[in-house]
Structure 1
Amino acid sequence: SELGESREIAEKRLELLEKRFSKTRELEQQYKGFLQEYENLGHMSRSTDLGEQGFGYFLPHHAVCKDTSTTTKIRVVFDASAKTTSGLSLNDTLKIGPVVQDDLFSILIRFRLYNVVITGDVEKMYRQILVDESQRDFQRILWRSDSSKSIQEYSLNTITYGMSVSPYLATRCLRQIGLDCQNQFPQASNAILNSFYVDDLLCGADTIDEAIRFRQDISSVLG
């Protein structure tokens, strides 16, 4: 394998994070709450230790603060660019994939043509999409909610923030949903295929009644 050992750096980064917690209790509470929700929703789960012979990748993680957010002030981001002992990171070995959505300028130009405009977004888009179990050893993290206890290994079960391939995986999955619903929900399909920029929807209709029907259809498809 091109990837080397990654557990040691992940453990050191966790220890640095815990030192930061000791100075900023609010950050500690929000960080722990974020990962507890992650686990409660099934987006990460305890895994058996890889051991010395195991092959995988441990993602160091850190907080990104969002002062403008009215809900969660921090988001935990996972660092797939952290180098392993071979000098390569997980991101170095991944294929990024093509862009499968229209450019933002084209979407905005079409958005201006509607009599009634509709906006929306996919909540926690990355975390709505499960990763195949065979690939989750490459999405491992080290974590403990109490620094006096032993460090535990977890697997992240969904598409992960911080991995170079994640934008492609998420948008390609969304595109597949649009393709799959073409016959039953043609208008919703068209919007999914042509009017999404990452997780944001910008589209519209000619009348309010059409907009209401569209909202019902796309909610059925993506709900």
Structure 2
Amino acid sequence: MKDNRSIAKLPGKEDFPEFPSNYNITKRRTLSLINRLSREPEMMKVYGDIIADQEKRGFVEKVQDENAGEKIHYIPHHAVKKDSPTTPIRIVYDCSCRESSEIVTNYSNY
């Protein structure tokens, strides 16, 4: 337990190769998401509120552009609209995002 939360490690394959940096594809997808959401200011606000809440709760963390050259594997995300007054959108994290011949996060677990 840490901060009244249970933390569980996913069972990963020990001989799995290091993940490649996917900075460029993640940045392209993020810019596309921002472009789409900017056409609907209310959706942009809701999306931002969800991300802020997830950051506050320690589920996600903000990264800086200066990390772009480092070997970091990012998990891109996007909005899925729902017909619900209480939760008009939900955020989906895409662990299978990759360049054409690269390995993906989903393949590293048993």
Q: CA RMSD in A?
A: 2.3
Q: How many residues align?
A: 93
TM-score using structure 2 length: 0.68
- 1:171-209 CA distance string (max 9 Å, x none): xxxxxxxxxxxxxxxxxxxxxxxxxxxxxxxxxxxxxxx
1:40 pairs with one of 56, 78, 83: 56
Q: Which has the higher contact order (CA 8 A, sep 6+)?
A: 2
Match of 1:5 in 2: 21
Checking the alignment, whether the CA contact within 8 Å between 1:3 and 1:90 is kept in structure 2 is: yes
1:19 pairs with one of 8, 11, 35: 35
**Could you tell me how far 1:89 is from its partner in structure 2?**
1.5
**Could you tell me how far 1:94 is from its partner in structure 2?**
2.3
Match of 2:94 in 1: 79
Quote the sequence identity (%).
28
Which residues of structure 2 form unaligned runs of 5+? 1-16
- 1:29-77 CA distance string (max 9 Å, x none): 11001101112223223457655343x4211100122213x42211111
Match of 1:92 in 2: 107
- 1:85-138 CA distance string (max 9 Å, x none): 64222112322xxxxxxxxxxxxxxxxxxxxxxxxxxxxxxxxxxxxxxxxxxx
More strand by share: 1
More helix by share: 1
TM-score using structure 1 length: 0.37
**Could you tell me how far 1:17 is from its partner in structure 2?**
0.6
Q: Does 1:61 align with 2:61?
A: no
Match of 1:52 in 2: 69
Which residues of structure 1 form unaligned runs of 5+? 96-223
